[in-house]
Amino acid sequence: MELKVADSLFGSGKLFEASVWYERCLFGAPDPHLGMQAVKGKINCLKVQRRFDEELDFITRSRALDIPDSFRQCLAYDEMLASYLSGKFVSSIEDAKNLDTLVFSFQEIKNSRIIRILSYNELCRWDEAESAYKEYLDKYVGDAATATDRGLYLAKPKLKSEDKARLLANLLPGLGQVYAGKPLEGVVNLVLQVGTLWFSVNAWQEGYHLTSLLVGGSSFAAFRSGGKRRAVNLIKQQNEIIIDKYNDYLRRQLLVSCVSKTL
Q: pTM of the predicted model, to two decimals?
A: 0.80
Question: What is the C-alpha separation between 247 and 241, in angstroms, rounded?
Answer: 10
- How far from the centroid of its chain's Cα atoms is residue 208's Cα? 53
Residue 51 placed within a domain: yes
Residue 33 placed within a domain: yes
CA angle 192, 197, 199 (to 5 degrees): 95
Residue pair 135/110 in contact (Cβ under 8 Å)? The answer is no
Task: Name the domain count of the chain.
Answer: 2
| 115 and 19 share one domain | yes
Core vs surface per residue 126-165: b (16+ CB within 10 A) or e:
beebbebbeebbeebbeeebeeebeebbeeeeeebebeeb
Q: At what angle do helices 126-136 and 106-122 cross, to 10 degrees?
A: 160
Residue 157 placed within a domain: no
Last residue of a domain, which of 122, 152, 182? 152
Q: What is the pLDDT along the chain (263 residues), one digit of tens a residue?
A: 677 888 888 889 888 888 888 888 877 656 777 778 888 999 999 999 999 999 999 998 888 777 777 788 888 889 999 999 999 999 999 999 888 777 567 778 888 899 999 999 999 999 999 999 999 988 888 888 888 888 889 989 999 999 999 999 988 889 999 999 999 988 888 888 888 887 787 777 777 777 777 777 788 788 888 889 999 999 999 999 999 999 999 998 888 777 665 55
Residue 261 placed within a domain: no
Residue 135 placed within a domain: yes
Last residue of a domain, which of 96, 119, 152? 152
Domain range holding 207?
Answer: 162-248
